[in-house]
Amino acid sequence: MFRPLYDWVLRMAHHRHAIWLLGLVSFAESSFFPIPPDAMLIPMVIARREQAFRIALVCTIASVLGGMLGYYIGYGLMQTVGEWIVHTYHLEAKLAEAIHAYQSEYGTWIILLKGLTPIPFKLVTIASGAASFNFPLFVLLCCITRGARFFLVALLLKRYGAPVQQFIEKRLDLFAWAFLGLIVLGFVAVAVL
């Protein structure tokens, strides 16, 4: 079922504009888009293992820049754009909890830990702005957590890419459903926890 999409993504990973598209998705995911950049990052690194760290760097920089937009949405546009995004993803209660947690001096840990998980990063960035979290510290923490996430994926795929690719291709439907499940789980975790 997912084979044509997988083959298309691998082909697109070689397209001359693929890296820019990955950057766009990574930017958007940190502020308003629901799909994590891993959906493109993993196939791109598998297809271009020699450029694994360059791909992770683009993903990281774009994610941090998107996080800065998310911060601004929470800080300066909460009454308009921020409320629309939070309402669209049904995160009203979670945003209130996150803002309270930031005010309880857990903001640093929230950014570091949730930036590594499939929990939608846009909630973290918007809540950081809404809570007026220290902006330079926010940017530094985003660089650390998003860089760790994307470079770890790149490192593992660069080192073990061929066997991983064979393993994934043999069980493509299972991995595709698992990936979709992780996305849904991320949103459920935000709604429930």
Rounded average pLDDT over 75-95: 81
- Structural domain that includes position 145: 3-192
| Tally of structural domains, the chain | 1
Structural contact between residues 115 and 146, judged by C-beta atoms closer than 8 angstroms: yes
pLDDT in tens, 148-161: 999 998 998 888 87
- In this model, does residue 147 exceed pLDDT 90? yes
pLDDT in tens, 87-96: 887 777 777 7
pLDDT band at 5 (very low <50, low <70, confident <90, very high): low
Structural contact between residues 138 and 127, judged by C-beta atoms closer than 8 angstroms: no
Per-residue confidence (pLDDT) for residue 117, from 0 to 100? 79
List all residues 6 or more positions away from 2 whose beta carbon is below 8 Å from its beta carbon: 172, 173, 176
- In this model, does residue 109 exceed pLDDT 60? yes
